[in-house]
């Protein structure tokens, strides 16, 4: 997606979240992040279909960033993370775990599965918004992400 005449494209963010209140807060928080498109899927099964561009997601762009809840219906966030990081074409997408759980076990397991970051969801809306802005600023403005067209297998 193009943003104006500058030729810069919008950053694609995929939020995998089943809690509608958290989705609403994330949408509001992302309003302050420039040049982005936020797409949302409610469970791990939909997330993998989206990332693999299957079914109704055949025409979507590959996201530049995935924000992933751990506790999801159908397919858990842990399984989504393992599948993404186990797929040579998807593993380059940064995945940030965004979970209410701050247990050492969940944090260690997420990094063992190659999460790029782990953020405990703040309950306070202002703190939640600030966390989303920090994630957006870092991954979409500061960090460099390989273009989708690059063949990282060769």
pLDDT one-digit tens code per residue, 6-44 = 445 678 899 999 999 889 988 988 887 777 889 999 999
The CATH number that applies at residue 128 is: 3.40.50.2300
pTM above 0.85, yes or no: yes
Share of the chain above pLDDT 90, in %: 56
- pLDDT, tens digit, 9 for 90 and up, residues 113-140: 999 999 999 888 899 888 988 888 888 7
Tell me the torsion sign for CA atoms 139, 145, 149, 153: negative
CA distances from 135 to 32, 45, 46, 57, 138 (A): 12, 24, 23, 25, 5
* Mean confidence (pLDDT) of the chain: 86
Q: Kindly state whether residue 37 falls inside one of the protein's structural domains.
A: yes
Q: CA torsion 141→145→146→148, rounded to 10°?
A: -80
- Residues sharing a CB contact under 8 Å with residue 126, sequence separation 6 or more, in sequence order: none
Q: Kindly state whether residue 152 falls inside one of the protein's structural domains.
A: no
Q: Kindly state whether residue 76 falls inside one of the protein's structural domains.
A: yes
Q: How far apart are CA 96 and CA 80, in angstroms?
A: 12
Instruction: Provide the domain limits for residue 103.
Output: 11-141
Mean pLDDT of 52-71: 93
The pLDDT value given to residue 10: 79
pLDDT over 90 (residue 143): no
Q: Kindly state whether residue 4 falls inside one of the protein's structural domains.
A: no
Q: Kindly state whether residue 148 falls inside one of the protein's structural domains.
A: no
Q: Kindly state whether residue 135 falls inside one of the protein's structural domains.
A: yes
Task: Write out the H or E segment, with its range, that includes residue 41.
Answer: strand 36-41
Mean pLDDT of 81-109: 94
Q: How many domains does the chain have?
A: 1
Q: Kindly state whether residue 146 falls inside one of the protein's structural domains.
A: no
The pLDDT value given to residue 147: 66
Q: Kindly state whether residue 154 falls inside one of the protein's structural domains.
A: no
The pLDDT value given to residue 3: 39
The pLDDT value given to residue 6: 44
């Amino acid at each position: 997606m193009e943003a104006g005449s500058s030729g810069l494209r919008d950053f694609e963010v995929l939020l995998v979240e089943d809690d509608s209140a958290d989705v609403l807060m994330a949408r509001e928080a992302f309003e302050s992040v420039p040049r982005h498109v936020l797409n949302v899927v409610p469970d791990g099964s939909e997330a993998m279909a989206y990332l693999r561009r299957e079914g109704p997601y055949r025409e979507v762009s590959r996201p530049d960033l995935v924000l992933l809840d751990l506790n999801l219906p159908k397919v858990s966030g842990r399984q989504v993370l393992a599948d993404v990081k186990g797929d040579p074409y998807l593993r380059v997408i940064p995945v940030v775990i965004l979970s209410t759980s701050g247990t050492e076990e969940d944090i260690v397991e997420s990094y063992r599965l190659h999460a790029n970051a782990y953020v405990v969801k703040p309950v306070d809306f202002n703190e939640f918004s600030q966390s989303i802005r920090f994630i957006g600023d870092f991954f979409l403005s500061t960090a460099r992400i390989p273009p989708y067209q690059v063949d990282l297998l060769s």
